[in-house]
A = this chain, B = another copy of it.
Amino acid sequence: MAKESESPTSGDYFDHSASKDSGEKSPLQVPKPAAQRISLYLRYLEAQAAQGKSTISSKELGNALGLTAAQVRKDLGHFGQFGHPGVGYILTDLIPRIRKIIGTDRVWRVALVGMGNLGSALSRYKGFASRGFQITALFDQDPEVVGKEFAQGTVHSMDELEEIVQRENIELGILAVPIEAAQEVAERMSRAGIHGILNFAPKVLPELPAVRSVSVDLTIQLEQLALSISMDPPEGNKES
């Protein structure tokens, strides 16, 4: 059982199409749950640094994220040697090293495809740019939407996708199109040379050449809330 829950595929429920294609090339052996948690570690460490803290122990970090200290050490151990005995983690050391591991020590250029309500909202989402994800070009299939102006510039026609992705060195794509169009647009993104797709359409994307995709299903998070309340209803919801 230990072996099973430690295997790199345990909990790996995101699509990682490209890794299945790449045959002999073995990705870094980091269990998916540890890889998923590293962003959460980073968020918490940044918040602590912003409050003026300079070091943190694995116990504190674990308490904050609902993990044991041992789990924290194990998770971070997959990525390198960070802790200092008797001191803990030094924030000015650990934060930039985690950013470097994730790859957000540099700017990632992103195409946003689908400028309906969701795409428009995403174009204004402040979290992306502040973490190094720069929405560089906007696309839509609808002639009524092409030419509209947003903070990131004019909405381009899908016909220009390939040319602009290559010219602007765009690596990531956000897919905010209706469900019916999702697969075709994802295929076009793959052909245009995009390496990673953040998919907002409530649809599982097929495996695509040399592209990884992560699907955002907002309903899953509501289901998590519902499940949590169903299993253990909160009591006494009144102000005392």
Contacts and interface: CB of A to CB of B under 8 A. Distances in A.
A28 B227 CA distance: 11
Interface residues of A, number: 102
A219 to B, nearest CB: 4
A213 to B, nearest CB: 8
Interface string A186-213: 0000110111111000101000011111
Contacts of A227: 35, 38-39, 101-103
Nearest to A172: B225
A106 B70 CA distance: 40
Contact of A229 (B74, B195, B238): B195
A52 interface: no
Interface string A215-240: 01111111111111111111111111
Interface of A: 1-2, 4-7, 9-14, 16, 18-19, 22, 25, 27-28, 30, 32-33, 35-40, 42-43, 47, 65-68, 70-71, 74, 101-104, 108, 110, 116-118, 120-122, 124-128, 131, 133, 171-172, 174, 179, 190-191, 193-198, 202, 204, 209-214, 216-240
